[in-house]
Structure 1
Amino acid sequence: MIHPTALVDDAVEIPACTNIWAYCHILRGARIGTNVNIGDHCFVEGGAVVGNDVTIKNGVFVWEGVVIENGVFVGPNVTFTNDCYPRSPRMDHAATRYKDKSWLVETVLRTGSSIGAAAVILPGVEIGCFGMVGAGSVVSRDVPAFSLVVGNPARVVADLCCCGQKLEGSCLTESCSACGQTPLQRQALLQELISSSTETAHES
Protein backbone atom coordinates (compact mmCIF):
# COMPACT_ATOMS: atom_id res chain seq x y z
CA MET A 1 0.00 0.00 0.00
CA ILE A 2 1.33 3.42 -0.98
CA HIS A 3 -0.51 6.37 0.59
CA PRO A 4 -1.81 8.89 -1.98
CA THR A 5 0.41 11.64 -0.51
CA ALA A 6 3.59 9.53 -0.61
CA LEU A 7 6.09 10.12 -3.42
CA VAL A 8 7.80 7.00 -4.77
CA ASP A 9 10.21 7.63 -7.64
CA ASP A 10 10.11 5.65 -10.87
CA ALA A 11 11.86 2.28 -10.89
CA VAL A 12 11.47 1.77 -7.12
CA GLU A 13 9.71 -1.54 -6.54
CA ILE A 14 7.37 -1.57 -3.55
CA PRO A 15 6.02 -5.07 -2.75
CA ALA A 16 2.25 -5.28 -2.32
CA CYS A 17 2.57 -6.28 1.36
CA THR A 18 4.74 -3.23 2.19
CA ASN A 19 3.10 -0.03 3.52
CA ILE A 20 4.40 3.46 2.69
CA TRP A 21 2.44 6.02 4.70
CA ALA A 22 1.62 9.71 4.29
CA TYR A 23 4.17 12.23 3.00
CA CYS A 24 7.01 9.74 2.56
CA HIS A 25 9.54 10.14 -0.24
CA ILE A 26 11.37 7.11 -1.62
CA LEU A 27 14.13 8.04 -4.09
CA ARG A 28 15.20 6.10 -7.15
CA GLY A 29 17.89 3.57 -6.24
CA ALA A 30 16.46 2.76 -2.80
CA ARG A 31 15.77 -0.91 -2.09
CA ILE A 32 12.67 -1.74 -0.03
CA GLY A 33 11.86 -5.28 1.14
CA THR A 34 8.62 -7.16 1.77
CA ASN A 35 6.30 -6.77 4.76
CA VAL A 36 7.83 -3.37 5.60
CA ASN A 37 6.00 -0.53 7.34
CA ILE A 38 7.36 3.00 6.79
CA GLY A 39 5.52 5.65 8.83
CA ASP A 40 4.55 9.22 7.98
CA HIS A 41 7.10 11.85 6.91
CA CYS A 42 9.98 9.46 6.20
CA PHE A 43 12.66 9.82 3.51
CA VAL A 44 14.65 6.96 1.96
CA GLU A 45 17.55 8.07 -0.24
CA GLY A 46 18.86 6.24 -3.29
CA GLY A 47 21.47 3.70 -2.24
CA ALA A 48 19.77 2.97 1.09
CA VAL A 49 18.69 -0.62 1.74
CA VAL A 50 15.66 -1.67 3.80
CA GLY A 51 15.25 -5.43 4.31
CA ASN A 52 12.16 -7.54 4.97
CA ASP A 53 9.85 -7.31 8.02
CA VAL A 54 11.24 -3.87 8.97
CA THR A 55 9.32 -1.22 10.93
CA ILE A 56 10.35 2.41 10.46
CA LYS A 57 8.33 4.83 12.58
CA ASN A 58 7.48 8.45 11.73
CA GLY A 59 10.04 11.13 10.87
CA VAL A 60 13.04 8.95 9.96
CA PHE A 61 15.47 9.83 7.15
CA VAL A 62 17.42 6.86 5.79
CA TRP A 63 20.40 8.11 3.81
CA GLU A 64 22.56 6.48 1.15
CA GLY A 65 24.95 4.02 2.78
CA VAL A 66 22.51 2.94 5.49
CA VAL A 67 21.75 -0.79 5.35
CA ILE A 68 18.80 -2.02 7.42
CA GLU A 69 18.63 -5.81 7.53
CA ASN A 70 15.57 -7.99 8.16
CA GLY A 71 13.31 -7.59 11.18
CA VAL A 72 14.76 -4.26 12.34
CA PHE A 73 12.77 -1.68 14.35
CA VAL A 74 13.62 2.01 13.88
CA GLY A 75 11.84 4.33 16.32
CA PRO A 76 10.45 7.79 15.55
CA ASN A 77 12.85 10.62 14.73
CA VAL A 78 15.97 8.43 14.68
CA THR A 79 18.86 10.25 12.97
CA PHE A 80 21.30 8.50 10.62
CA THR A 81 24.44 10.07 9.14
CA ASN A 82 26.80 8.95 6.37
CA ASP A 83 29.69 11.44 6.31
CA CYS A 84 32.20 11.73 9.17
CA TYR A 85 33.41 15.21 8.15
CA PRO A 86 30.59 16.84 6.18
CA ARG A 87 30.89 20.02 4.15
CA SER A 88 28.56 21.47 1.57
CA PRO A 89 29.50 19.83 -1.75
CA ARG A 90 28.47 23.08 -3.43
CA MET A 91 31.29 24.99 -1.73
CA ASP A 92 34.40 25.44 -3.91
CA HIS A 93 36.74 24.44 -1.06
CA ALA A 94 35.04 21.02 -0.76
CA ALA A 95 34.51 20.29 -4.45
CA THR A 96 37.49 17.93 -4.77
CA ARG A 97 36.43 15.83 -1.78
CA TYR A 98 32.99 15.21 -3.23
CA LYS A 99 34.06 14.30 -6.78
CA ASP A 100 33.54 10.62 -5.90
CA LYS A 101 31.95 8.55 -3.12
CA SER A 102 35.08 8.11 -1.00
CA TRP A 103 33.48 10.26 1.70
CA LEU A 104 30.51 7.87 2.07
CA VAL A 105 30.61 5.69 5.20
CA GLU A 106 28.29 2.67 5.50
CA THR A 107 26.15 2.08 8.57
CA VAL A 108 24.60 -1.36 9.13
CA LEU A 109 21.68 -2.40 11.34
CA ARG A 110 21.87 -6.17 11.62
CA THR A 111 18.91 -8.55 11.73
CA GLY A 112 16.48 -8.08 14.61
CA SER A 113 18.10 -4.94 16.04
CA SER A 114 16.08 -2.04 17.48
CA ILE A 115 16.75 1.71 17.61
CA GLY A 116 14.86 3.76 20.20
CA ALA A 117 13.17 7.08 19.53
CA ALA A 118 15.40 10.07 18.66
CA ALA A 119 18.64 8.09 18.86
CA VAL A 120 21.56 9.37 16.75
CA ILE A 121 23.58 6.79 14.81
CA LEU A 122 26.97 8.11 13.67
CA PRO A 123 28.61 6.98 10.39
CA GLY A 124 30.35 3.62 10.19
CA VAL A 125 28.55 2.04 13.12
CA GLU A 126 27.27 -1.53 13.08
CA ILE A 127 24.36 -2.46 15.36
CA GLY A 128 24.72 -6.20 16.00
CA CYS A 129 21.97 -8.80 15.59
CA PHE A 130 19.20 -8.22 18.15
CA GLY A 131 21.15 -5.30 19.65
CA MET A 132 19.09 -2.43 21.06
CA VAL A 133 19.78 1.31 21.30
CA GLY A 134 17.95 3.23 24.02
CA ALA A 135 15.89 6.32 23.21
CA GLY A 136 17.92 9.50 22.77
CA SER A 137 21.28 7.70 22.77
CA VAL A 138 24.22 8.79 20.61
CA VAL A 139 25.95 5.76 19.09
CA SER A 140 29.56 6.33 18.04
CA ARG A 141 30.86 2.75 18.15
CA ASP A 142 29.65 -0.73 17.20
CA VAL A 143 26.95 -2.33 19.34
CA PRO A 144 27.51 -6.05 20.09
CA ALA A 145 24.80 -8.59 19.29
CA PHE A 146 22.15 -9.01 22.04
CA SER A 147 23.40 -5.85 23.84
CA LEU A 148 21.41 -2.89 25.17
CA VAL A 149 23.24 0.44 24.93
CA VAL A 150 22.12 3.79 26.36
CA GLY A 151 23.48 7.29 26.87
CA ASN A 152 25.83 9.76 25.19
CA PRO A 153 28.11 8.20 24.22
CA ALA A 154 26.09 4.98 24.22
CA ARG A 155 27.48 2.23 26.45
CA VAL A 156 26.45 -1.38 27.10
CA VAL A 157 24.26 -1.68 30.20
CA ALA A 158 22.67 -5.12 29.77
CA ASP A 159 22.21 -8.15 27.53
CA LEU A 160 18.91 -8.97 25.84
CA CYS A 161 17.13 -12.01 24.45
CA CYS A 162 15.95 -12.12 20.83
CA CYS A 163 12.43 -11.39 22.08
CA GLY A 164 13.59 -8.14 23.71
CA GLN A 165 13.51 -9.35 27.32
CA LYS A 166 16.33 -7.97 29.48
CA LEU A 167 18.51 -10.79 30.83
CA GLU A 168 19.73 -10.91 34.41
CA GLY A 169 23.20 -11.96 33.27
CA SER A 170 25.10 -12.63 30.06
CA CYS A 171 23.39 -13.71 26.85
CA LEU A 172 26.04 -16.46 26.76
CA THR A 173 24.85 -18.04 30.02
CA GLU A 174 21.27 -16.95 30.78
CA SER A 175 18.05 -18.48 29.50
CA CYS A 176 15.17 -16.06 28.90
CA SER A 177 12.44 -15.93 31.55
CA ALA A 178 9.95 -14.59 28.99
CA CYS A 179 10.30 -16.87 25.94
CA GLY A 180 12.52 -19.67 27.29
CA GLN A 181 15.26 -19.27 24.68
CA THR A 182 18.52 -20.85 25.86
CA PRO A 183 22.04 -19.50 25.33
CA LEU A 184 22.76 -22.37 22.93
CA GLN A 185 19.68 -21.55 20.84
CA ARG A 186 20.65 -17.88 20.82
CA GLN A 187 24.20 -18.56 19.66
CA ALA A 188 23.05 -21.06 17.03
CA LEU A 189 20.70 -18.43 15.60
CA LEU A 190 23.47 -15.84 15.58
CA GLN A 191 25.82 -18.18 13.72
CA GLU A 192 23.09 -18.95 11.20
CA LEU A 193 22.51 -15.23 10.58
CA ILE A 194 26.24 -14.54 10.23
CA SER A 195 26.62 -17.38 7.73
CA SER A 196 23.61 -16.19 5.76
CA SER A 197 24.94 -12.63 5.69
CA THR A 198 28.34 -13.82 4.44
CA GLU A 199 26.76 -15.89 1.65
CA THR A 200 24.61 -12.93 0.57
CA ALA A 201 27.66 -10.65 0.47
CA HIS A 202 29.51 -13.13 -1.76
CA GLU A 203 26.54 -13.35 -4.14
CA SER A 204 26.12 -9.57 -4.50
Structure 2
Amino acid sequence: MKGKNYFVHESSYIDSPVEIGEGTKIWHFSHVLPNTKIGKNCIVGQNCMIGPDVKIGDGCKIQNNVSVYKGVELEDFVFCGPSCVFTNVLTPRAFVERKHEFKKTLVKTGATIGANATVVCGNTIGKYAMIGAGAVVTSDVEDYALYVGVPAKRVGWVCKCGVVLIHKEEIKGNAKTSGNGLMITCPNCGSVYIFEKNLFYPLEEKI
Protein backbone atom coordinates (compact mmCIF):
# COMPACT_ATOMS: atom_id res chain seq x y z
CA MET A 1 0.00 0.00 0.00
CA LYS A 2 1.72 3.19 -1.20
CA GLY A 3 1.56 6.64 0.35
CA LYS A 4 1.32 5.37 3.91
CA ASN A 5 3.81 5.28 6.78
CA TYR A 6 3.13 1.57 7.23
CA PHE A 7 3.22 -1.46 4.94
CA VAL A 8 0.33 -3.71 3.94
CA HIS A 9 0.89 -6.56 1.50
CA GLU A 10 -1.34 -6.39 -1.57
CA SER A 11 -3.01 -9.70 -0.67
CA SER A 12 -4.32 -8.36 2.66
CA TYR A 13 -7.53 -6.44 3.41
CA ILE A 14 -7.82 -3.39 5.65
CA ASP A 15 -11.37 -2.32 6.47
CA SER A 16 -12.45 1.18 7.50
CA PRO A 17 -12.14 2.83 9.93
CA VAL A 18 -8.82 1.40 11.13
CA GLU A 19 -5.77 3.04 12.71
CA ILE A 20 -2.33 1.62 11.89
CA GLY A 21 0.81 3.07 13.44
CA GLU A 22 3.98 4.18 11.73
CA GLY A 23 6.40 1.42 10.82
CA THR A 24 3.91 -1.43 11.19
CA LYS A 25 4.02 -4.24 8.61
CA ILE A 26 1.06 -6.46 7.71
CA TRP A 27 1.98 -9.44 5.58
CA HIS A 28 0.21 -11.86 3.19
CA PHE A 29 -3.48 -12.86 3.38
CA SER A 30 -4.34 -10.99 6.57
CA HIS A 31 -7.51 -9.05 7.41
CA VAL A 32 -7.93 -6.09 9.77
CA LEU A 33 -11.58 -5.45 10.63
CA PRO A 34 -13.26 -2.10 11.45
CA ASN A 35 -12.60 0.01 14.54
CA THR A 36 -9.27 -1.70 15.19
CA LYS A 37 -6.22 0.21 16.36
CA ILE A 38 -2.73 -1.21 15.76
CA GLY A 39 0.22 0.64 17.24
CA LYS A 40 3.62 1.58 15.85
CA ASN A 41 6.29 -0.84 14.64
CA CYS A 42 4.14 -3.97 14.89
CA ILE A 43 4.56 -7.04 12.70
CA VAL A 44 1.49 -9.00 11.64
CA GLY A 45 2.36 -12.28 9.92
CA GLN A 46 0.59 -14.26 7.24
CA ASN A 47 -3.05 -15.34 7.50
CA CYS A 48 -3.93 -13.27 10.56
CA MET A 49 -7.27 -11.69 11.46
CA ILE A 50 -7.54 -8.75 13.84
CA GLY A 51 -10.78 -7.18 15.03
CA PRO A 52 -13.27 -5.76 14.99
CA ASP A 53 -12.89 -3.29 17.89
CA VAL A 54 -9.46 -4.59 18.92
CA LYS A 55 -6.62 -2.52 20.39
CA ILE A 56 -2.99 -3.56 19.88
CA GLY A 57 -0.12 -1.58 21.37
CA ASP A 58 3.25 -0.61 19.95
CA GLY A 59 5.96 -3.10 19.01
CA CYS A 60 3.80 -6.24 19.04
CA LYS A 61 4.67 -9.29 16.94
CA ILE A 62 1.76 -11.44 15.82
CA GLN A 63 3.04 -14.52 14.04
CA ASN A 64 1.34 -16.55 11.28
CA ASN A 65 -2.20 -17.92 11.66
CA VAL A 66 -3.30 -15.88 14.68
CA SER A 67 -6.78 -14.37 15.12
CA VAL A 68 -7.17 -11.54 17.63
CA TYR A 69 -10.92 -11.36 18.22
CA LYS A 70 -13.13 -8.65 19.67
CA GLY A 71 -12.66 -8.62 23.43
CA VAL A 72 -8.89 -9.17 23.25
CA GLU A 73 -6.44 -6.35 23.98
CA LEU A 74 -2.67 -6.52 23.58
CA GLU A 75 -0.54 -3.93 25.33
CA ASP A 76 2.93 -2.95 24.06
CA PHE A 77 5.59 -5.46 22.92
CA VAL A 78 3.41 -8.58 23.15
CA PHE A 79 4.62 -11.64 21.23
CA CYS A 80 1.96 -14.01 19.87
CA GLY A 81 3.56 -17.22 18.61
CA PRO A 82 2.46 -19.03 15.44
CA SER A 83 -1.10 -20.41 15.55
CA CYS A 84 -1.76 -19.35 19.14
CA VAL A 85 -5.48 -19.03 19.87
CA PHE A 86 -7.66 -16.46 21.62
CA THR A 87 -11.32 -17.02 22.43
CA ASN A 88 -14.06 -14.58 23.44
CA VAL A 89 -17.00 -16.81 24.46
CA LEU A 90 -16.80 -19.41 27.23
CA THR A 91 -19.56 -21.75 26.03
CA PRO A 92 -20.07 -21.24 22.28
CA ARG A 93 -22.76 -22.88 20.18
CA ALA A 94 -23.13 -22.51 16.42
CA PHE A 95 -26.89 -22.07 16.82
CA VAL A 96 -26.87 -19.64 19.82
CA GLU A 97 -25.94 -15.95 19.42
CA ARG A 98 -23.62 -14.96 22.30
CA LYS A 99 -21.95 -11.76 21.12
CA HIS A 100 -23.34 -10.01 24.21
CA GLU A 101 -21.39 -12.50 26.37
CA PHE A 102 -17.89 -11.71 25.09
CA LYS A 103 -15.30 -11.89 27.88
CA LYS A 104 -12.35 -9.50 27.94
CA THR A 105 -8.83 -10.89 27.61
CA LEU A 106 -5.93 -8.59 28.44
CA VAL A 107 -2.30 -9.39 27.57
CA LYS A 108 -0.03 -6.96 29.35
CA THR A 109 3.21 -5.34 28.21
CA GLY A 110 6.04 -7.61 27.13
CA ALA A 111 4.22 -10.92 27.58
CA THR A 112 4.94 -13.91 25.33
CA ILE A 113 2.39 -16.48 24.19
CA GLY A 114 4.01 -19.60 22.74
CA ALA A 115 3.15 -21.38 19.49
CA ASN A 116 -0.18 -23.24 19.52
CA ALA A 117 -1.06 -22.02 23.02
CA THR A 118 -4.70 -21.24 23.78
CA VAL A 119 -5.85 -18.37 26.00
CA VAL A 120 -9.38 -18.93 27.27
CA CYS A 121 -11.27 -15.64 27.40
CA GLY A 122 -11.86 -13.67 30.59
CA ASN A 123 -8.27 -13.93 31.82
CA THR A 124 -5.34 -11.52 32.13
CA ILE A 125 -1.75 -12.39 31.25
CA GLY A 126 0.64 -10.31 33.34
CA LYS A 127 3.48 -8.18 32.07
CA TYR A 128 6.56 -10.06 30.85
CA ALA A 129 4.87 -13.40 31.58
CA MET A 130 5.71 -16.35 29.35
CA ILE A 131 3.19 -18.96 28.18
CA GLY A 132 4.78 -22.17 26.90
CA ALA A 133 4.02 -23.68 23.51
CA GLY A 134 0.79 -25.70 23.47
CA ALA A 135 -0.37 -24.50 26.91
CA VAL A 136 -4.04 -23.83 27.66
CA VAL A 137 -4.48 -20.78 29.89
CA THR A 138 -7.63 -21.01 32.03
CA SER A 139 -6.74 -18.49 34.79
CA ASP A 140 -5.01 -15.18 35.32
CA VAL A 141 -1.22 -15.26 34.92
CA GLU A 142 1.02 -13.27 37.26
CA ASP A 143 3.64 -10.77 36.05
CA TYR A 144 6.92 -12.49 35.08
CA ALA A 145 5.39 -15.96 35.55
CA LEU A 146 6.20 -19.01 33.41
CA TYR A 147 3.10 -21.11 32.68
CA VAL A 148 3.06 -24.45 30.83
CA GLY A 149 0.78 -27.44 30.40
CA VAL A 150 -2.91 -28.29 30.00
CA PRO A 151 -4.39 -26.61 31.90
CA ALA A 152 -1.49 -24.20 32.26
CA LYS A 153 0.17 -24.01 35.68
CA ARG A 154 2.92 -21.81 36.99
CA VAL A 155 6.24 -23.66 36.94
CA GLY A 156 8.65 -20.77 37.36
CA TRP A 157 9.50 -17.11 36.87
CA VAL A 158 11.25 -15.32 34.02
CA CYS A 159 13.32 -12.17 33.57
CA LYS A 160 12.13 -9.30 31.42
CA CYS A 161 14.71 -10.48 28.86
CA GLY A 162 13.09 -13.94 28.73
CA VAL A 163 15.62 -16.01 30.72
CA VAL A 164 14.08 -18.47 33.20
CA LEU A 165 15.38 -17.53 36.68
CA ILE A 166 13.33 -19.87 38.85
CA HIS A 167 12.03 -23.23 37.70
CA LYS A 168 10.04 -25.52 39.99
CA GLU A 169 11.17 -23.52 43.00
CA GLU A 170 14.87 -24.05 42.26
CA ILE A 171 16.94 -20.89 42.12
CA LYS A 172 19.03 -20.45 38.97
CA GLY A 173 21.74 -17.87 38.49
CA ASN A 174 23.22 -15.69 41.23
CA ALA A 175 20.94 -15.66 44.30
CA LYS A 176 21.44 -14.41 47.83
CA THR A 177 19.11 -13.80 50.74
CA SER A 178 17.46 -10.39 51.07
CA GLY A 179 15.42 -10.09 54.27
CA ASN A 180 12.78 -12.80 54.17
CA GLY A 181 13.24 -13.44 50.48
CA LEU A 182 15.82 -14.05 47.79
CA MET A 183 17.61 -11.54 45.59
CA ILE A 184 18.13 -12.99 42.11
CA THR A 185 20.34 -11.52 39.42
CA CYS A 186 19.71 -12.44 35.78
CA PRO A 187 22.92 -13.93 34.34
CA ASN A 188 22.01 -12.57 30.90
CA CYS A 189 21.04 -8.92 31.39
CA GLY A 190 21.90 -8.23 35.03
CA SER A 191 18.37 -7.31 36.12
CA VAL A 192 17.73 -7.92 39.82
CA TYR A 193 14.54 -9.46 41.23
CA ILE A 194 13.10 -10.28 44.63
CA PHE A 195 11.45 -13.65 45.28
CA GLU A 196 9.57 -13.78 48.57
CA LYS A 197 6.29 -15.14 49.90
CA ASN A 198 5.63 -16.74 46.50
CA LEU A 199 5.90 -13.37 44.77
CA PHE A 200 8.44 -12.37 42.10
CA TYR A 201 9.12 -8.78 41.13
CA PRO A 202 11.93 -6.38 40.10
CA LEU A 203 14.06 -4.97 42.89
CA GLU A 204 13.04 -1.39 42.04
CA GLU A 205 9.40 -2.24 42.87
CA LYS A 206 10.26 -3.26 46.45
CA ILE A 207 8.99 -0.72 48.97
Q: TM-score, normalised by structure 2?
A: 0.82
Residue in structure 2 matched with residue 135 of structure 1 by the alignment: 133
Indicate whether 1:181 and 2:191 are aligned: yes
Letter paired with 1:150 = V
Deviating above 6 A after TM superposition, structure 1's stretches of 4 or more consecutive aligned residues are none
Residue in structure 2 matched with residue 77 of structure 1 by the alignment: 83
1:113 to 111, 114, 119: 111
Q: RMSD value over aligned CA atoms?
A: 2.1
Q: Percent identity?
A: 35
Q: Look at both structures and tell me which one has the larger radius of gyration over its CA atoms.
A: 2
Distance in 2 (CA, whole Å) between partners of 1:44 and 1:147 is 26
1:190 Cα offset (Å): 10
After superposition, give the CA deviation of every residue in 1:5-58 in whole Å (9 maximum; x if it has no partner).
110002212223000001000000111111100000000021221110100000
Residues 22 and 39 in structure 2, CA contact (< 8 A), matched pair in contact too: no
Residue in structure 1 matched with residue 152 of structure 2 by the alignment: 154
Residue in structure 2 matched with residue 202 of structure 1 by the alignment: none
1:39 to 45, 51, 56: 45
Residues 37 and 56 in structure 2, CA contact (< 8 A), matched pair in contact too: yes
User: Helix, strand or coil for the counterpart of 1:173?
Assistant: strand
After superposition, give the CA deviation of every residue in 1:101-141 in whole Å (9 maximum; x if it has no partner).
2x010001000000000001001111101000000001101
Residues 56 and 74 in structure 1, CA contact (< 8 A), matched pair in contact too: yes
Residues 175 and 182 in structure 1, CA contact (< 8 A), matched pair in contact too: yes
Residue in structure 1 matched with residue 69 of structure 2 by the alignment: 63
Higher strand share: 2
Letter paired with 1:180 = G
Q: Which runs of 5+ in 2 are unaligned?
A: 1-6, 173-180, 195-200
1:174 Cα offset (Å): 1.1
Higher helix share: 1
Residue in structure 2 matched with residue 18 of structure 1 by the alignment: 24
1:151 Cα offset (Å): 0.4
1:155 Cα offset (Å): 0.7
Residues 84 and 114 in structure 2, CA contact (< 8 A), matched pair in contact too: yes
Q: TM-score, normalised by structure 1?
A: 0.84
Residue in structure 1 matched with residue 55 of structure 2 by the alignment: 49
1:172 Cα offset (Å): 6.4
